[in-house]
Amino acid sequence: MTAVALTIAGSDSGGGAGIQADLKTFAANEVFGTSVITALTAQNTQGVSAIHDVPLVFIVGQMDAIFSDFEVAAVKIGMLSRVETIRLIASELRRRSAPHIVLDPVMVATSGDRLLQEDAVAALRTELMPLAEIVTPNLHEAAALTGKPFARNEQEMEAQARDIFAFGPRWVLVKGGHGTGDEAVDLLVGGDGAVTRVRGRRIDTKNTHGTGCTLSSAIAAHLARGASPSDAVRAAKDYVTGAIAAADQLKVGHGHGPLNHFYKSWSTP
């Protein structure tokens, strides 16, 4: 049986993040990708100029279409934007007993544009985090979720990960990509209390649009293929590091360009 993953997220018209990045990542990691679009964005490498939320009834229609026909092995959740959407998605996933949920708490785009309304943060904590197998906040998102300052070191990252763990997910991955140093170190905290350092080299490039979407989708892809959470995180980290390293090979847009999702199979442009 072909492994199927589902992304529930917003569309990026520029193709670098959101649904588009998720589907590219699923394909690159050898799973069949399906999607439920929660919002449309007018977006490119330079920023987000408009957001149009998809009507709730149509979100349900998309979920009905997917779950009535496909054996979904893992779910990635990205941009949801509104409280109403968060509550609906949580209700639908509970009703369907969806497996292996990876929650990327998308709040701000690489360009700095806010993608999650202020009142939706609390709903994210209470409605979706208890359903998640893995939550994948970056340093800015971890600070927003915990109400603490931006983490300056691994000790503060770990403390915020444990605070987020208290909201109900089974694993928390706090990503260190916005930190400093030669290595980009992520911290994975699980139910047994153990902390795993997931390391990758830090790459000097402005072309990092869609990094968070890509990492969470890669984790979901490996969970769909049967990997353990820790193995899925490590494999996803390796894939994203390679995609960032090859990002400058793509010559698209005039701002923060996308990762090179197909660096393993494309010849150098």
CATH of the domain at 102: 3.40.1190.20
Nearest alpha carbon to residue 79 among 131, 37, 136, 132: 37
- Is 213 labeled as catalytic in the residue annotation? yes
State the total domains in the chain. 1
In a domain, 218, yes or no: yes
In order along its 269 residues, the chain shows pLDDT tens digits of 899 999 999 999 999 999 999 999 999 999 999 999 999 999 999 988 998 999 999 999 999 999 999 999 999 999 897 899 999 999 999 999 999 999 999 876 555 556 666 778 889 999 999 999 999 999 989 998 998 999 999 999 999 999 999 999 999 999 986 656 678 899 999 977 789 999 888 898 999 999 999 999 999 999 999 999 999 999 999 999 999 999 999 999 999 999 999 999 987 65
Q: Which residue in 10, 14, 78, 210 is the catalytic one?
A: 210
In a domain, 259, yes or no: no
In a domain, 224, yes or no: yes
Domain that holds residue 94: 4-249
- Is 126 labeled as catalytic in the residue annotation? no
In a domain, 265, yes or no: no
| Alpha carbon distance 77, 116 (integer Å) | 13
Indicate the burial class of 42 (C-beta count within 10 angstroms; 0-12, 13-18, 19 or more).
middle
pTM for the model = 0.95
In a domain, 69, yes or no: yes
- Is 148 labeled as catalytic in the residue annotation? no
In a domain, 91, yes or no: yes
- Is 2 labeled as catalytic in the residue annotation? no
Q: Residues 53, 214, 191, CA angle at the centre, nearest 5°? A: 100
Q: Which residue in 24, 45, 85, 175 is the catalytic one?
A: 175
Structure tokens given for 97: 């007993």
Nearest alpha carbon to residue 79 among 113, 49, 45: 113
